[in-house]
Amino acid sequence: MKPKKIIVMGVSGCGKSLIGSKLAAALGLRFFDGDDFHSPDNVRKMSEGVPLNDEDRAEWLARLNQLLRDAPNAVLACSALKPEYRRQLRTGIDGLEIVYLQGDFDTIWNRHQQRADHYFNGRTMLESQFATLVEPEQDEALFIDIRQSQHEVLQDILTRLSPA
């Protein structure tokens, strides 16, 4: 099997971890949640409602890039909010596919309010992510509408990732 590496991206609460883990299981790939690789300082900041800046994210993105480079096949859930973050994640990796879970603020904020035990804290933090987000170019990622059911989102991704 040709190595397959996929990033499932989007703002917090769009479903990256859930869909990414289901996608990895469906494809027989290893799953990594980018949230698990934040430094304790980053987790503390987010828990306190302080948005991360580029400097905060630099080491985290380097760690995730190395993780993808070392894993023969993997799905990574990662916000990847800016083009420069996606470039850093792609460095040294051929054939990396990006799936963008796209949704509006209200839909995602409603999901946030249903979450329990997550360090990402508050409406201001989500507003910050939307302010930081630079959507990928159409040819850079698969755009997936998250207003669909989880099953439909997964099927949409699997269909669109399959070779024609």
In three state form, how does the secondary structure of the chain look? CCCCEEEEECCCCCCHHHHHHHHHHHHCCEEEEHHHHCCHHHHHHHHCCCCCCHHHHHHHHHHHHHHHHHCCCEEEECCCCCHHHHHHHHCCCCCCEEEEEECCHHHHHHHHHHCCCCCCCCHHHHHHHHHHCCCCCCCCCEEEECCCCHHHHHHHHHHHHCCC
Please give the pLDDT value at position 115: 66
* CB neighbour burial string for 81-119, b if at least 16 within 10 angstroms, e if fewer: beeebbebbbeeeeebbbbbbbbeeeebeebbeeeeeee
Predicted TM-score (pTM) of the model is: 0.91
Tell me the fold of 14-161.
Rossmann fold (3.40.50)
Give the up-direction half-sphere exposure of residue 32: CA atoms within 13 A in the CB hemisphere: 22
- Look at residue 149 in the predicted model and tell me its pLDDT: 94
- Cα 160 from chain centre: 18
Domain boundaries, the chain: 14-161
Residue by residue, pLDDT tens for the chain (164 residues) are: 455 999 999 998 899 999 999 999 999 999 999 999 999 999 888 878 787 888 998 999 999 999 999 998 999 999 999 999 999 999 999 889 999 999 999 999 988 777 666 555 678 888 888 999 999 999 999 999 999 999 999 999 999 987 65
- pLDDT reported for residue 23: 97
